Structure 1
Amino acid sequence: MNIVFVASEAVPFAKTGGLADVAGALPRAVAELGHEAALFIPCYRKVWDHAHELIGTGLSIQVPVGAATVRGHVFESRIPNSDVPVYLIDQPRYFDREGFYGHLGHDFDDNCERFVFFQRAMLEACSALGLRPDVFHCNDWQTGLIPIYLKTLYADVPGLSGAGTLFTIHNLAYQGLFWHWDVPLTGLPWDLFTQQGVEFHGKLSFLKAGLVYADVLSTVSPTYAREIQTQRQGAGLDGLLRERRADLRGIVNGIDVDSWSPSRETMLAERYDLDTVETGKAACKAWLQGHAGLPVRPEVPLFAQIGRLDPQKGWDLLAEVADRLLQEDVQLIVLGTGHPKYHDLLQSLAARYPDKVWAYLGFSDELAHQIEAGADVFLMPSLFEPCGLNQLYSLAHGTVPVVHATGGLVDTVVDLTPATLADGTATGFVFGEPSSSSLWGALARVLDAWRDRETWAKLVRAGMSADWSWDSSARKYVEIYREIARRKRPEPATRDQEPSRLR
């Protein structure tokens, strides 16, 4: 099969979150299963800043954006360690900026225009390059118009006619909502701006367009697929998702084992595997403690957290239990940036507990790897988490995760109980209610388990023994691509058909 992936970011070219990890790894995994794959992303300024090898294709494309015609160019690269081509849509007016979607906490005012251009330019380039995909795999709101474009404006374009679409939701909370007067920018007729179409509470919704018009929908864990069909986590779209539940799949993300395996990561103080985890992890922990200016104490459990300092990540819960935890004989390292109130919290904790707390308020990919390898416990009390990757990175490194029972966290971490300890499946600690008391109950269990070195060793080894590579997930995606190909509509919708028949 021939699969064209479309995303707004992808490792190593541009990253703000887990979408980039998926978009940079899944196409390669699909190609390794014997299929053709290609990836399209925007050509942001940071792509040039990081000096990735880009080759001009010589392809110049002209795209209607509202009443204007905007010219763009296409560059080509490769996903590392593969032959999968990456096509980067270049238009400096839209993408030569400091941020991808906004700057200094504010979205760009012209995001609708920017991503209309990206999606239409991708379709134009795909046709001009002769890629002829069987399926477009679209990801999040920035690609949500592609399914409807393929049924309307691009229904008769050579190489695109008959292609199916899979639309993957990485986080339903981000919807691509714009005021209704932006509809003309899309080139779509006003009669699609309805409750059955792309209208959402009076606004234009890119995400809803993908949910309504894609052939099949997926999200990044089975539990999250169920959660988003509820009023509590459906973000106002739960009714639509329940209507399409027969077309909704949940597939847990994998991890790039070439990049996130302690036996391969060159930046670690000492590489290790299952046979050498005891000595290797001890060396990584000692290095990390020294780097953070904390006392090098192997007997103390070293807790860690990496990611956005944001309420969604459970930081209000962590704030409530932080002093109680730090009154124990523990250490805490945090890597991340986000809401100023959490910056203040961490700076205050570091000042009051200088031998126990170190916070790096920024981001460093190298330090993230070193923390995963050197920490003993990873804190991930997210209020909701579609899939999560850090708990998988932690398991791969023998770092025991503490997670809230939501989304992909509960799908990937097995709670320590007498039964799961006995059968060797326990890999971490799971707490049920998103409350500080429930989180503290899990942390108390962590401290008890830490004192039992045999139990702790079993947790470490069980986590490291699990296979979280992309191979299994990629095979499930290939099954969906084949299903879409079998379900292709006999006749693509034409421009003059009624909107109600486009679904």
Structure 2
Amino acid sequence: MRILQVSAELFPLLKTGGLADIAGALPLALLAEGQDARVLLPGFPAIVAGVRDLAPVAAFDAPWGEGFGLRLGHIDIDGTPGIPAYVIDAPALYGRPGNPYEDISRQPYGDNHRRFALLGWAAAQLAQGLDPQWQPEVVHAHDWHAALAPAYLHFARQAGGPRVGSVFTVHNLAYQGIFAPWHFAELGLPGPAFQMNGLEYHGQISFMKGGLYFADRLTTVSPTYALEIQTPEQGCGLDGLLRQRSAVLSGILNAVDDKVWNPATDTALIQGYHTPEGRHMAGKARCKSVLQHQLGLAERPDAPLFIVVSRLTEQKGLHLVLGGLDALLAQGGQLALLGSGEAWLEEAFRQRAAAAPQSVAVTIGYNETLAHQLFGAGDVTLVPSLFEPCGLTQMYGLKYGALPLVRRVGGLADTVVDSSLEDLASGEATGFVFDRFEVADYERAVRRAFALHERAPDWRRVRGNAMRRPADWATAAAQYIDVYRQAIQQ
């Protein structure tokens, strides 16, 4: 199958969150399964710099009349033959400081409707033959940035264009790409697209809704989240539409790229480790000792090291971590945090680190190497989210033997098994799970982590269970291939 993946970011070229990890790993998994997969990306400076041998393919006009170019090259990842990558050549739209979505003052760019409509438009042009050498059979659009691709394909098909299947994946329903209605005229869609059965959302334009309504098949990033987004509590105002389209909605659990996240081969770690039946873990103790020294923490091998690698938002439950920090430290634990986000959370964690520098280390920002080192050194990975479509952090924690402590929601519920007596006995326990989004419930889970840590043989068994949990991309790719076939046949 000829498959076009459409995304705003892709690891290792450009990453602001888990979307980039998926966008980088899935094409490789599809290529490994013998599929003809390519990616389409906006021409952000980091992407242009990372795609080799870029050559012009075609010129095309945006719906608002501006002319742009499309180039084709390859992305080399870890010695692979490379992912064929189309890049939209539009420096006026993409060649800016700040992150892909916001300026240096962290304000959304005023023309984001154009910047990301162009991504979907270019995908639809490729589906209609823009590259005479290659035409996709199915277009897979990721999150709101690419969500207009299925809408453009739908109306092109109505106008007699080629029959190309479309798949739209929701990575996080809370971010929807909402724009003022007067921008609709610039999008190049016919009038009927702006109605309740289309992009119209409470009088505004919702890119996300366009993808959800017009795509042939819908997926999201875990089975539990696929159910949750059909409820008023987590449907973000779109639960009715999602229930209406439930017959074409699938939850496919994200996986972990073993070439990037593997404690046995990870070059970011001072010493690798692996766990055939619980042995060969000396490297993890070494990683912990080195990281404690590096961060200025007390070098205590017996102190459970809790780690946070996260955006600092209330959605991620970081106020629970703050609320439970005194109890964690009183029990002899340490906290090492890496992340950035809401200013009040950044400042609150900074203050806690300043007050107890040998027990709390806080790094504001993002550092890929340090993230790997935290998982390598950590004993417990904290992910107490209010909602979590899938979550990769807990999967990295599992793989690196930093047992996840999570709330039973979304992909967290699908990937972590609580260390209850029955699951300890059956060998299924892989971490710590709590239910209510409250400090008291979170603190009880923390106490369970301390209790298990004091029982070294049980701790080693659970850690071994966690590290052996399968999270391979071959399984996920096979599920996506099945969805692509359904989209083509629909």
**TM-score of the aligned structures, taking structure 1 as reference length:** 0.93
Which residue in the other structure is 1:41 paired with? 41
Alignment partner of 2:62 out of 57, 61, 64: 64
Alignment partner of 2:52 out of 48, 51, 54: 54
Query: Contact conserved, 1:8 with 1:42, CA < 8 A, in 2?
Result: yes
Which residue in the other structure is 1:128 paired with? 130
Measured after TM superposition, the shift of residue 382 of structure 1 is 0.7
Q: Partner of 1:316: helix, strand, or coil?
A: helix
Which residue in the other structure is 2:148 paired with? 145
Which residue in the other structure is 2:24 paired with? 24
Do residues 109 (structure 1) and 110 (structure 2) align?
yes
Which residue in the other structure is 2:200 paired with? 199
Query: Contact conserved, 2:72 with 2:84, CA < 8 A, in 1?
Result: no
Measured after TM superposition, the shift of residue 137 of structure 1 is 0.8
Do residues 415 (structure 1) and 418 (structure 2) align?
yes
Which residue in the other structure is 2:91 paired with? 92
Structure 1: how far apart are the matches of 2:316 and 2:163? 41
Query: Contact conserved, 2:68 with 2:89, CA < 8 A, in 1?
Result: no
Moved more, 276-285 or 22-31: 276-285
Measured after TM superposition, the shift of residue 412 of structure 1 is 0.2
Do residues 186 (structure 1) and 187 (structure 2) align?
yes
Do residues 394 (structure 1) and 397 (structure 2) align?
yes
**TM-score of the aligned structures, taking structure 2 as reference length:** 0.96
Query: Contact conserved, 1:268 with 1:370, CA < 8 A, in 2?
Result: yes
Which residue in the other structure is 1:499 paired with? none
Which residue in the other structure is 2:336 paired with? 333
Query: Contact conserved, 2:113 with 2:179, CA < 8 A, in 1?
Result: yes
Superposed CA offset, 1:90-129 (max 9, x none) = 2000000122011232111100011122222233345232
Structure 2: how far apart are the matches of 1:213 and 1:124? 17
Q: Partner of 2:39: helix, strand, or coil?
A: strand
Residue ranges of structure 2 left out of the alignment (5+ in a row): none
Q: Partner of 2:324: helix, strand, or coil?
A: helix
Structure 2: how far apart are the matches of 1:415 and 1:214? 37
Structure 2: how far apart are the matches of 1:242 and 1:167? 16
Moved more, 24-33 or 111-120: 111-120
Query: Contact conserved, 1:28 with 1:82, CA < 8 A, in 2?
Result: no
Do residues 343 (structure 1) and 342 (structure 2) align?
no
Q: Partner of 1:142: helix, strand, or coil?
A: helix
Structure 2: how far apart are the matches of 1:173 and 1:448? 36
Structure 1: how far apart are the matches of 2:136 and 2:62? 23
Measured after TM superposition, the shift of residue 307 of structure 1 is 1.3
Measured after TM superposition, the shift of residue 486 of structure 1 is 2.5
Which residue in the other structure is 2:162 paired with? 161
4+ residue runs over 3 A deviation: 153-157
Query: Contact conserved, 1:155 with 1:161, CA < 8 A, in 2?
Result: no
Structure 2: how far apart are the matches of 1:483 and 1:79? 30
Aligned ranges 1:375-386 → 2 under 5 Å = 375-386=378-389
The RMSD of aligned alpha carbons is 1.5
Q: Partner of 1:345: helix, strand, or coil?
A: helix
Measured after TM superposition, the shift of residue 387 of structure 1 is 0.1
Amino acid of the residue matched to residue 74 of structure 1? R
Structure 1: how far apart are the matches of 2:113 and 2:156? 18
Do residues 306 (structure 1) and 305 (structure 2) align?
no
Structure 2: how far apart are the matches of 1:78 and 1:357? 39
Superposed CA offset, 1:27-51 (max 9, x none) = 1101111111001111102235xx4
Structure 1: how far apart are the matches of 2:358 and 2:240? 51
Query: Contact conserved, 2:315 with 2:386, CA < 8 A, in 1?
Result: yes
Query: Contact conserved, 1:79 with 1:85, CA < 8 A, in 2?
Result: no
Moved more, 163-172 or 129-138: 129-138
Structure 1: how far apart are the matches of 2:232 and 2:172? 15
Query: Contact conserved, 1:65 with 1:113, CA < 8 A, in 2?
Result: no
From the superposition, tell whether residues 90 and 212 of structure 1 become closer, same or farther in structure 2 (CA, over 3 Å).
same
Which residue in the other structure is 1:374 paired with? 377
Measured after TM superposition, the shift of residue 56 of structure 1 is 2.7
Structure 2: how far apart are the matches of 1:155 and 1:271? 55
Fraction of identical pairs, as percent: 38
Query: Contact conserved, 1:217 with 1:248, CA < 8 A, in 2?
Result: yes
Structure 2: how far apart are the matches of 1:65 and 1:372? 46
Counting matched residue pairs gives 482
Residue ranges of structure 1 left out of the alignment (5+ in a row): 488-503
Which residue in the other structure is 1:361 paired with? 364
From the superposition, tell whether residues 221 and 261 of structure 1 become closer, same or farther in structure 2 (CA, over 3 Å).
same
Q: Partner of 2:62: helix, strand, or coil?
A: strand
Which residue in the other structure is 2:4 paired with? 4
Query: Contact conserved, 1:376 with 1:398, CA < 8 A, in 2?
Result: yes
Measured after TM superposition, the shift of residue 346 of structure 1 is 1.2
Measured after TM superposition, the shift of residue 339 of structure 1 is 1.0
From the superposition, tell whether residues 277 and 301 of structure 1 become closer, same or farther in structure 2 (CA, over 3 Å).
farther
Q: Partner of 2:66: helix, strand, or coil?
A: strand
Amino acid of the residue matched to residue 61 of structure 1? A
Which residue in the other structure is 2:263 paired with? 262
Structure 2: how far apart are the matches of 1:264 and 1:203? 49
